[in-house]
Structure 1
Amino acid sequence: MEHLDLFENNIQLTGRLGEVQFAHGHLELAQWFRTVPDEVSSHRILHSNWTERTGAEGTLDFLVAYQTPTADGSAGGSVISYQTTVSFADEIPRFVALDKTPILPNTKRVYAPTWAEHRVSGFMHALLGTQLTHAEAADALCDITDGVSKVDVWAPVPERSPVYDAFLTIGTADGNFHTAAWRFHDDGDTAFPAPLQIAPLSRSTVYDDRHPDARGTL
């Protein structure tokens, strides 16, 4: 999917809680994309909140830790608040409005790439949401009988790595966590990476140390 396909034709792209107008509509958005430096960067989602609205829309607000490498080998960046409206017209999610506002400096000076993590997260969510079929991967997930509440991926490899290991943690509504390490091939051009090695999931339950009989969540 091209970048413009993520946005409705009448998209409103703003900054600093609406004070800055970046683009209105696909034409201006395409022009704005051309002004954005083609730099290596990472975006780690710290928190997100989805709110259902009437009709085929909802709001998705999230915080992102943004980083980019600097010339001296460290990293610079900021924590950015995103406030968005998403439409599901034709059952395809697209942004109707998006505002991005830096709220804090990112004080972590060691660059942590997230490219592979986002690629694998997309694969896992598409697989769990049945937008993607992969028989071997689906078989590995067949023992997850309760609803999936969270998917975490850790794959700290350089951008555009052709082969990498991704460590998966899948949380379910019953308080259990299912973990595995899968290997992927990734040319960076297809919609999703392709699994090369799929290991069985191992289940673990997290307990609250203060109340050994009570399950806790991470």
Structure 2
Amino acid sequence: MGQLSQIFIFFTSVLFAQENQGSITFEEKIKLEIENPSSQYFYPNLLTKINELPESTSQEELKFLYYGQIYKKGSGLSFLDNPNEDTFRKAVMQKNCNKILKFVYLNLKQNPVLLTTLMPVCDCQSKIKATEKDYLNTRLKILIELILDTGNGYSKETAIKIANIEDDLLLKEILKFKDGKETFETLNNRTFSVWNNGIEKIYFEDSWNYKYN
């Protein structure tokens, strides 16, 4: 085979690989990695690491844990899968920090990147000035940053990707988006939570629905 033919085949292979990589959606990339036993982001291994070495989990690992929860065993919804969730939520509504901190570690062991658990826990830790599990506050900040890095929320095309269908309630408050009414819209088999307060809109893409499309 001539040198020119070899060069042509090489560049054709590179372009094909780039096209294939470009066609892989955000969710597909997450799924491929977290379900691959040889990947550094294999979900069971990440789960073990964050539970055993909670302070050494990287931002990239947290990203695959957060969006990987879409595909983990169960519905992917904490209030359906976690037997402690009802008790925990009642404690949150009552602002009972003692109960919140009592059940938090059971909740986080099952899903260590759940915003609906991390936010009230970090709030309680701040109130009682607890520093024993300070890494949870760091984890929460990193998760919020990486989620908001997926889009600006101004349109469907630049929607903020969330893995849990409740997370938009928390994130819109962080973004200072007050009040508003929620509606749901679709585009290309994707589902969006759209908040409208009469002045502006904010779009969240519910990646959790992706596995059902």
Question: What TM-score do you get using the length of structure 1 for normalisation?
Answer: 0.26
- Which structure is larger by alpha-carbon Rg, 1 or 2? 2
> Does 1 or 2 have the higher relative contact order (CA < 8 Å, sep 6+)?
2
Structure 1 or 2: more strand by fraction: 1
Structure 1 or 2: more helix by fraction: 2
Question: What TM-score do you get using the length of structure 2 for normalisation?
Answer: 0.26
